[in-house]
């Protein structure tokens, strides 16, 4: 048990040096890290919301509006498929689309046309001509789940585009999303960026309605957004969508004539639709509508066939950049409602960090003193292992880019105590073997050998409970769990392997006749 080959010693030292190497940036300020050579690590442990301050938002995904929009589209598809048969009394209620056919001579043809047009939806055509189309409960549940998953993905994209480090975006319950962004200094801007549905459409301006001032069939009056973001004049816009923002693949903020603009690019399908629409409507105004507000309505001078274009309007540099971010990230599948908003100040975070430092320092001092008093030289070995355990934990957290929260600090403090627990088991067993008359080397060998099973069982049970905390917990509980799990692995390595190496070296050099225990 106390014999180490050169390979094992080299491997142990390599692990310790790797931990020290990755943990090193945490002792420097951001300015010093920026000036370090490129071959040195620069990643540090990120501080969570409770330590760094920032914004906490709880959103609810409006799945009802999503379902209503899907039903509205379903109703349109049903009507389009049954145009040749004629229909009346179209209704959308109770999550169903119903209508009555006028022509009852070819019900089988109506059934076939309906099934071909609305795939994946339950449809029914009765003998009296009543047509029903609806989504099953399973379809609705999957639709809601997909909307929340999609919203989480889009929110992540939008926040990442701002350059914010380590945001947390997680589902809570069936239709809620928790957003935590540490260190973000403008929570209102964050809400504006996340909360916009960003549904973009290209539609034609209804010139007839504009000239007469009266509504035409298939048109709606939408506000035009001015530079300060407040809507001013109204424009009559045709409801038919010529091209949808779903076909956008890129958007970037730029300048033209010194004025901020947004450059966009479509995929192949969008490019073809956009080209056809602009070619057929040269000389007309093409409104760019974002969330039912007109952000620009330029005149089409020539057909735009390249699949790319620009949006110019009353933009500032910041608003153009935000619009580009929204368009790149994509539109939310459903509106979001803010249910809870909390802003954590940096002062509170600083207090938490200071309290965590004090807790760690006090814990280390008390543990170190107790180990030296109880076990002398071997207590010093255990204390060195405890320090190395802290270094390895910090290094691993830095390497994986983990976010450290206040519960995470609590996990580190708990791990420091656990780090010497294995040494206590081993050294108490060594004392027992010495009382039985064994030699120093044999007593130490037996101590490490006999205590291994107990140490292994204890840490496995700790690890299992910690994994359950990580799997079923959320937010702070996950932070505590991941720190504790890393601590369990590193404490076993330092307490069993590293202290055994130090003890082995001391025994070979000192060759004591009795152990100082």
Q: Which of 295, 301, 298, 342 is nearest to 320 (CA)?
A: 295
Exposed / middle / buried, residue 491 (Cβ in 10 Å: 0-12, 13-18, 19+)? buried
Q: Which two tokens stand for residue 450?
A: 């006999």
Q: How many whole angstroms from its chain centre is CA 250?
A: 21
pLDDT at 380: 92
Q: What are phi and psi of 96, to 5 degrees?
A: -135, 150
pLDDT at 11: 92
Q: Which of 443, 462, 463, 445 is nearest to 513 (CA)?
A: 443
Mean pLDDT of the chain: 83
Q: Which two tokens stand for residue 236?
A: 């009559």
pLDDT at 296: 83
Exposed / middle / buried, residue 140 (Cβ in 10 Å: 0-12, 13-18, 19+)? middle
Q: Could you say which DSSP state residue 446 is in?
A: H
What is the spatial distance between Cα 168 and Cα 54, in angstroms, rounded to a whole number? 11
Sorted by sequence, the CB contacts under 8 Å of residue 511 that are 6+ apart come out as: none
What is the spatial distance between Cα 412 and Cα 315, in angstroms, rounded to a whole number? 49
- Please give the full DSSP string across 395-462, using - where no structure is assigned: HHHHHTTPEE-HHHHHHHHHHHHHHHHHHHHHHHHHHHHHHTT--HHHHHHHHHHHHHHHHHHHHHHH
Q: pLDDT by residue (tens digit) across 166-194? A: 678 888 888 899 888 877 766 777 888 88
Helix axes 346-375, 406-435, angle to 10 degrees: 0
What does the angle CA 490 – CA 491 – CA 494 come to, to the nearest 5 degrees? 85
3-state SS class at 321: helix
Q: Which of 181, 95, 175 is nearest to 133 (CA)?
A: 95
Q: Which two tokens stand for residue 139?
A: 């379809």
3-state SS class at 26: helix
Domains and CATH numbers, the chain: 6-47+345-510 (1.20.1640.10), 63-138 (3.30.1240.20), 198-331 (3.30.1360.200)
Q: What are phi and psi of 170, to 5 degrees?
A: -135, 155
Q: Which of 262, 245, 251 is nearest to 314 (CA)?
A: 262
Name beta bridge partners: 100: 88, 130
Q: Which of 39, 117, 107, 120 is nearest to 77 (CA)?
A: 117
Angstrom CA distances, 48 to 106, 343, 402, stand at: 66, 13, 9
Q: pLDDT by residue (tens digit) across 323-363? A: 888 888 777 888 888 888 877 666 556 676 677 778 778 88
pTM for this model (two decimals): 0.60
Please name the residue that has the structure tokens 């975070």.
349
Angstrom CA distances, 407 to 51, 56, 353, 370, stand at: 10, 17, 11, 25
Contacts of the segment 101-110: beta carbons below 8 A, 24+ positions apart: 101/125, 101/129, 101/130, 101/131, 102/129, 104/128, 104/129, 109/85, 110/82, 110/85
pLDDT at 28: 75
What is the spatial distance between Cα 462 and Cα 415, in angstroms, rounded to a whole number? 11
For 343, the enclosing helix (H) or strand (E) is strand 336-344
What is the spatial distance between Cα 368 and Cα 370, in angstroms, rounded to a whole number? 5
pLDDT at 232: 66
pLDDT at 446: 87
pLDDT at 66: 83
Please name the residue that has the structure tokens 């799990």.
485
Q: What are phi and psi of 255, to 5 degrees?
A: -135, 145
What is the spatial distance between Cα 477 and Cα 480, in angstroms, rounded to a whole number? 5
What does the angle CA 216 – CA 218 – CA 221 come to, to the nearest 5 degrees? 70
What is the spatial distance between Cα 393 and Cα 292, in angstroms, rounded to a whole number? 51
What is the spatial distance between Cα 272 and Cα 274, in angstroms, rounded to a whole number? 5
% of the chain exceeding 90 in pLDDT:
6
pLDDT tens by residue, the chain, 517 residues? 567 888 988 999 999 999 888 888 887 776 676 676 777 777 777 777 777 777 888 999 988 888 888 888 788 788 888 888 888 888 888 888 888 888 888 888 888 888 887 777 888 888 888 888 888 888 888 888 888 888 888 888 888 766 655 678 888 888 899 888 877 766 777 888 887 777 888 899 998 888 887 887 788 888 887 655 555 688 999 988 888 887 888 888 888 888 888 888 888 888 888 888 888 989 899 888 888 888 888 888 888 888 888 887 777 888 888 888 888 877 788 888 888 887 766 655 667 667 777 877 888 888 889 999 999 999 999 999 888 988 898 888 888 777 777 788 788 878 877 778 888 888 999 898 888 888 888 888 888 888 888 888 888 998 898 888 888 876 677 778 888 888 888 988 988 889 989 998 898 888 888 888 7
pLDDT at 227: 58
């Amino acid at each position: 048990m106390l014999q180490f080959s050169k390979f094992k010693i080299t491997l142990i030292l390599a692990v310790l040096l790797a931990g020290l190497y990755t943990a090193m940036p945490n002792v420097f300020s951001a300015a010093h890290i920026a000036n370090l050579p490129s071959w040195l690590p620069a990643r540090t442990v990120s501080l969570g919301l409770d330590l760094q301050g920032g914004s906490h938002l709880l959103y609810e995904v409006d799945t009802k509006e999503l379902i209503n929009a899907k039903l509205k589209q379903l109703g349109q598809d049903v009507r389009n498929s049954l145009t040749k048969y004629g229909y009346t009394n179209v209704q959308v209620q109770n999550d169903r689309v119903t209508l009555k056919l006028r022509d009852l001579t070819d019900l089988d043809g109506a059934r076939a046309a309906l099934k071909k047009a609305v795939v994946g939806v339950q449809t029914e055509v009765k003998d009296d001509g009543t047509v029903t189309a609806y989504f099953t409960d399973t379809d609705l549940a999957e639709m809601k789940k997909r909307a929340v998953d999609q919203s989480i993905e889009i929110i992540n994209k939008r926040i990442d585009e701002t350059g914010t480090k380590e945001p947390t975006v997680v589902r809570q319950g069936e239709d809620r999303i928790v957003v935590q962004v540490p260190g973000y200094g403008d929570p209102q801007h964050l809400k504006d960026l996340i909360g916009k549905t960003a549904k973009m459409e290209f539609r034609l301006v209804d010139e007839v309605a504009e000239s007469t001032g009266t509504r035409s069939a298939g048109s709606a009056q939408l506000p035009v957004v001015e530079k300060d973001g407040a809507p001013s004049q109204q424009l009559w816009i045709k409801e038919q969508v010529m091209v949808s923002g779903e076909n956008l693949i890129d958007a970037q903020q730029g300048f033209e004539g010194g004025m901020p603009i947004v450059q966009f690019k479509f995929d192949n399908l969008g490019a073809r639709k956009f080209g056809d629409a602009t070619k057929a409507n040269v000389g007309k105004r093409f409104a760019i509508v974002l969330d039912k507000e007109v952000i620009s309505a330029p005149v089409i001078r020539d057909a735009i066939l390249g699949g790319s274009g620009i949006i110019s309007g009353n933009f500032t540099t910041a608003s153009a950049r935000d619009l580009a971010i929204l368009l790149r990230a994509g539109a939310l599948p459903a509106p979001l409602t803010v249910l809870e908003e909390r802003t954590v100040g940096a002062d509170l975070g600083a207090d938490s960090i200071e309290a965590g430092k004090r807790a760690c320092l006090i814990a280390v001092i008390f543990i170190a003193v107790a180990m030296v008093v109880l076990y002398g030289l071997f207590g010093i070995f255990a204390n060195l292992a405890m320090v190395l355990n802290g270094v390895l934990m910090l290094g691993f957290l830095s390497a994986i880019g983990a976010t450290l929260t206040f519960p995470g600090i609590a996990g580190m403090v708990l791990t420091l105590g656990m780090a010497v627990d294995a040494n206590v088991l081993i050294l108490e067993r060594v004392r027992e073997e010495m009382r039985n008359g064994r030699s120093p080397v044999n007593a130490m060998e037996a101590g490490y050998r006999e205590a291994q099973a107990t140490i292994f069982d204890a840490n496995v049970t700790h690890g299992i409970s910690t994994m359950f905390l990580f799997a079923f917990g959320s937010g702070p509980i996950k932070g505590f769990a991941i720190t504790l799990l890393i601590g369990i692995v590193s404490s076993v390595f330092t307490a069993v392997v590293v202290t055994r190496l130090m003890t082995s070296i001391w025994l070979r050099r000192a060759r004591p006749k009795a152990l100082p225990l």
